[in-house]
Chain A
């Protein structure tokens, strides 16, 4: 038992030195879940609360924090809903001036299981011991990328087949088509009324909570393929957003490119950020 504890402490110290003093030569390989944890961990690790926070699903998740100005933070979570981001803002006691809520997937229920990672104890542990944050996971930061690199050397040529750029260039039309059809199916289905109302009333509670604290709430529409923009689900969501607060609709949706009908390509993300930032800044400055 003693040996195990001493060994554990030694590994912690060595790993601390590695993370602190040696720059990681690899790009981390993470699952969507792990990416979400990294985003959430980042939110409570900030020195000062961001002025503008974005919440939403995987559509706005691609507006990476590295691409946004310093006073912004994107708390959109892949596969989850806006309410999850709102819950985290509340839990981490962040004090933004404006919260921008993505309207495209308002219908999703909250992912309660995600918050289990953020009990008081674990949040504080992660806040003060950065080694325990997901961004420092040794397996995703070092081991998997290292094995990937070795594998890449052995299997050159077939590696990048799933990368966004190649899919958008149409090199994997079959995969794109399957995903696009799935997106069309998802957005053309009317949501179950009782479940939808339950989720919206939940969202409404969060909106009221933040508005009562003087936070400005604005809904915005992420660009998607024009076929999806006209869909039933999005119309219902937009109407809900207008009822709850103000809505900024997407203009010129056809100028953006997607990887599967609903997620923007890297180029389109940059283009959309250029539209979004001035708009959000004006909201912050406004009455």
Chain B
């Protein structure tokens, strides 16, 4: 069921009505579990078996980990490996089949035919979070006779909670479990809900879906000039942000309707001044998951320089592969791993000469006759531009996830230099129009970051007007309805 479908809106409204009826106060979690089952099984009920299997496995492992059994480490390992096996088997079998058993090989054919269950990358990661947090005793499930029942109840809810089931944000067990309690209608933060849901739907149905009609041209690069292709890539960068940030905002808003706060998944990523900053602003729930459950256990930056670079690279490689069973996603991960490594190296070199640099900069500022603030602004703008350009270049691996397609794209990009027209304005103008809100969205934030008080006051006045305009455009300017890009992951 898609967030932008009528069925979903109906499901949310019905669940909301039942959820807050006082009679059902004691079974609120059950109401949400039932809705989550309907949500997940709506298009393909068969996939529910795998989700339930995954839940049951996590219930048993985390129950054992919380029940004072010995050999906790063994059970925790079994739980993590079990989740990873489910993920690897269902997500990567086709890639393994195509890579290791090419041609008519029957094993290869079998592996290729295994379907990809929707949301598997997200719910298996939440399962891992549950097992690890249980092992570390970061969560409490309750005690006494009913503990297994409570445990089952809470765990099923944690993994299935429908706003975040299919495409995140990936919720950590330790931040979700303390929130499970009876909720009251009077406690709903309505302004927060409206702001998140309206902004989310606006980003998805007005920006991302309309841009999708234009960025599909990236699939036929041979018909476009190099300049047009670069512009289309820029549009895709805006589209993928609007699509995924839109989804996350809707998920956050709908969760808040039911009294649950999810982690903010995007924090204006396109104003990042460095690649490491980008990864603290883009898909925050995944980056923080990888940092906490992979990078730090691998040793993080505590085991010397060489090991730090290796850790960064391996985390980004696996993070890339998490996005999809295709080598282009692995390349994308490596690309970001290399960027992060290069940036770290550059910073290390800079740190060594920090005193000399400082003196040098002062001399330059004085000689140029510019204020320090201006130099800082130019430097920030340049950094933002560089980071945005490299990140945008990487997105091509998402739009064209085959090596053959990528080859054609690169060939066209470097050979269509003289092909007229230099820019196809029929594509460019709508792209500019649909991109402006996303750019403004980032710039307003940047402005608010610097001019905090006055901006806050001003923005709180115009916010209802902006939300009204967005709501109007959601109704009258929807683009071609499509599923969310991150659903495929």
Q: Which residues on A are within 8 Å of B, measured CB to CB?
A: 1, 3-8, 10-12, 15, 29, 31-34, 113, 116-117, 119, 121-122, 131-132, 136-140, 143-144, 147-148, 151, 155, 158-159, 161-162, 172, 174-175, 178-179
Q: Tell me which of B249-257, B419-427, B440-448 binds A.
A: B419-427
* CB < 8 Å neighbour of B424 from A10, A11, A162: A162
CB <8 Å contact, B468 and A11 = yes
Q: Which residues on B are within 8 Å of A, measured CB to CB?
A: 5-6, 190-191, 194, 198, 206, 210, 213-214, 222-223, 419-426, 428-430, 432-434, 464-465, 467-469, 471-473, 475-477, 479-482
- Given that A4-B467, A8-B472 are known contacts, is A178 also in contact with B223, CB under 8 Å in the complex? yes
Q: Which of B194, B426, B467, B476 has the most CB of A within 10 A?
A: B476
- Given that A119-B6, A147-B429, A158-B423 are known contacts, is A8 also in contact with B468, CB under 8 Å in the complex? yes
CB <8 Å contact, A162 and B429 = no
Q: A174–B426 Cα gap in the complex (Å)?
A: 18
CB <8 Å contact, B421 and A162 = yes
CB <8 Å contact, A29 and B421 = no
CB <8 Å contact, B420 and A161 = yes
23 A-B contacts (beta carbon < 8 Å): A11-B469, A12-B472, A15-B472, A29-B429, A31-B214, A113-B481, A113-B482, A116-B5, A117-B481, A119-B6, A121-B6, A131-B476, A132-B476, A138-B477, A139-B434, A143-B433, A144-B429, A148-B429, A151-B429, A155-B425, A162-B424, A162-B426, A175-B223
Chain B, Cβ-Cβ closest to A174: B419
CB <8 Å contact, A139 and B425 = no
Chain B, Cβ-Cβ closest to A163: B426
* CB < 8 Å neighbour of A139 from B194, B210, B464, B468: B210
Residues of A within 8 A of B432 (CB): 147
* CB < 8 Å neighbour of A172 from B420, B423, B426: B420
Q: A34–B426 Cα gap in the complex (Å)?
A: 14
CB <8 Å contact, B464 and A4 = yes
* CB < 8 Å neighbour of B476 from A6, A136, A147: A136
CB <8 Å contact, B213 and A11 = no
| 4 additional A-B residue pairs with CB within 8 Å, beyond A7-B468, A139-B210, A144-B433 | A8-B468, A29-B429, A33-B479, A138-B476
- Given that A31-B214, A147-B432, A151-B429 are known contacts, is A161 also in contact with B421, CB under 8 Å in the complex? yes
- Given that A1-B194, A162-B426 are known contacts, is A139 also in contact with B477, CB under 8 Å in the complex? yes
Q: A122–B36 Cα gap in the complex (Å)?
A: 25
Residues of B within 8 A of A7 (CB): 464-465, 467-469
CB <8 Å contact, A8 and B471 = yes
- Given that A137-B476, A155-B425, A162-B426 are known contacts, is A4 also in contact with B198, CB under 8 Å in the complex? yes
Q: A10–B467 Cα gap in the complex (Å)?
A: 13
Q: A135–B439 Cα gap in the complex (Å)?
A: 27
CB <8 Å contact, B476 and A1 = no
Q: Interface SS of chain B: helix, strand, loop or mixed? A: helix
Residues of B within 8 A of A119 (CB): 6
Kindly provide the distance from the CB of B296 to the nearest chain A CB, expressed in whole angstroms.
42
Q: A148–B430 Cα gap in the complex (Å)?
A: 8
Kindly provide the distance from the CB of B477 to the nearest chain A CB, expressed in whole angstroms.
5
Q: A22–B464 Cα gap in the complex (Å)?
A: 27
Q: A194–B419 Cα gap in the complex (Å)?
A: 40
Chain A, Cβ-Cβ closest to B195: A4
Chain B, Cβ-Cβ closest to A178: B223
Residues of A within 8 A of B190 (CB): 1
Q: A178–B468 Cα gap in the complex (Å)?
A: 45
Residues of B within 8 A of A132 (CB): 475-476
Residues of A within 8 A of B480 (CB): 31, 33
Kindly provide the distance from the CB of B206 to the nearest chain A CB, expressed in whole angstroms.
8
- Given that A10-B468, A31-B214, A33-B213 are known contacts, is A139 also in contact with B429, CB under 8 Å in the complex? no
Q: A138–B472 Cα gap in the complex (Å)?
A: 10
Residues of A within 8 A of B479 (CB): 33
**Which 9 A-B pairs give the minimum distances between C-beta atoms?**
A7-B468, A3-B464, A31-B213, A161-B421, A11-B472, A33-B480, A4-B467, A8-B468, A139-B477
Residues of B within 8 A of A113 (CB): 481-482
Q: A51–B190 Cα gap in the complex (Å)?
A: 51
Chain B, Cβ-Cβ closest to A122: B6
CB <8 Å contact, A178 and B471 = no
Residues of B within 8 A of A137 (CB): 476-477
CB <8 Å contact, B472 and A151 = no
Q: A12–B433 Cα gap in the complex (Å)?
A: 21
CB <8 Å contact, B191 and A1 = yes
- Given that A15-B472, A139-B210 are known contacts, is A178 also in contact with B222, CB under 8 Å in the complex? yes
Residues of B within 8 A of A179 (CB): 223
Kindly provide the distance from the CB of A115 to the nearest chain B CB, expressed in whole angstroms.
11
Q: A155–B434 Cα gap in the complex (Å)?
A: 20
* CB < 8 Å neighbour of A138 from B210, B465, B473: B473
Q: A15–B405 Cα gap in the complex (Å)?
A: 44
Q: A60–B425 Cα gap in the complex (Å)?
A: 26
Residues of B within 8 A of A3 (CB): 464, 468
Q: A5–B191 Cα gap in the complex (Å)?
A: 12
Kindly provide the distance from the CB of A236 to the nearest chain B CB, expressed in whole angstroms.
26
Kindly provide the distance from the CB of B434 to the nearest chain A CB, expressed in whole angstroms.
8
Residues of B within 8 A of A139 (CB): 206, 210, 433-434, 473, 477
Chain B, Cβ-Cβ closest to A151: B429
Chain A, Cβ-Cβ closest to B469: A11
Chain A, Cβ-Cβ closest to B194: A1
Residues of A within 8 A of B482 (CB): 113
Q: A147–B429 Cα gap in the complex (Å)?
A: 7
Q: A8–B475 Cα gap in the complex (Å)?
A: 10
Q: A162–B430 Cα gap in the complex (Å)?
A: 16
